[in-house]
Structures are given as structure tokens and as C-alpha cells.
Amino acid sequence: MTRKEISIHYLELLEKGEIEQLLLLFSGDALVDSPVYGIMPAPNFYQDLTNDTSNSELKLLGVFEENDSDILALYFNYKWTLKNNALVDFDVVDIIEFDARNKIKRLKIIYDTVVARGLVKQLKD
């Protein structure tokens, strides 16, 4: 698969909650940098996300890539329903950095967290 195909497949797996399959797209030492959860190993991030999520709906809005670059950006809308049924609806950009084997080695998530941060905090309290 191309990096673009891997990235789109990543979104499909994320939406379905198929985390075991999703993690196969990542290198063993991959990190996720999230504005709500912080920087952590990919398995830990997706476990925390799964624990807090009852449903995800994702709509791809664009894929941005440069020739001869290991970095690709996904732009999508995320309708995230938390376990307490609170809904967070936001546009997000994921910056995906690939290694030489086309495994995701770093994923940086960028979005406005004003609503999400408060709702996740309520979920944890």
C-alpha cells in the first residue's frame, strides 16, 4: 500500500474501533502526540482513547503529501461520542510521519481542544 492508502486505511480502522488492526500500521516504538492525552506510545494512546469512546464517525476532507517526504497530513471531521454520551464534533489534522518500511512512527494530532478537553475531564472525574 502507498502511504496515502495506509493513511486512509488508518482512518477506516479508527472509525470502526479496530485498534488491534490499526496498531499493525505503526512501528513498534511509535508515538502519538495528542493535545488532550499528551505524548505517549501508540498502544497506550489508543487504549486510553478506546476506554473513553463509545462511537466515532470520521469524514475525510483531504490528504496532503509532498514528493520525497516521509510526512503526510490527513484533514478530517471527527464526531467523537464519549462513554458518557457527550458528543465532540471537530475538524482535525493528523500529521503522520512514516519510517523506511512505511510504518507510522509518529502521529501528531492537531485540533481545537476547548470543548473536548472539558468533556474528557468530566468523563474522568
Average pLDDT for the chain: 91
* Tens of pLDDT, residues 16-68: 999 999 999 999 999 999 998 999 999 999 999 999 999 999 999 999 998 88
pTM: 0.87
Which residue ranges make up each domain of the chain? 3-124
CATH 3.10.450.50 corresponds to the domain 3-124:
yes
Question: Does the pLDDT of residue 109 top 90, yes or no?
Answer: yes
Give DSSP secondary structure letters for 17-61.
Answer: T-HHHHHTTEEEEEEEEETTTEEEEHHHHHHHHHHHEEEEEEEEE
Question: Does the pLDDT of residue 94 top 70, yes or no?
Answer: yes
pLDDT for res 76: 97
List the grid coordinates of 112.
481545537
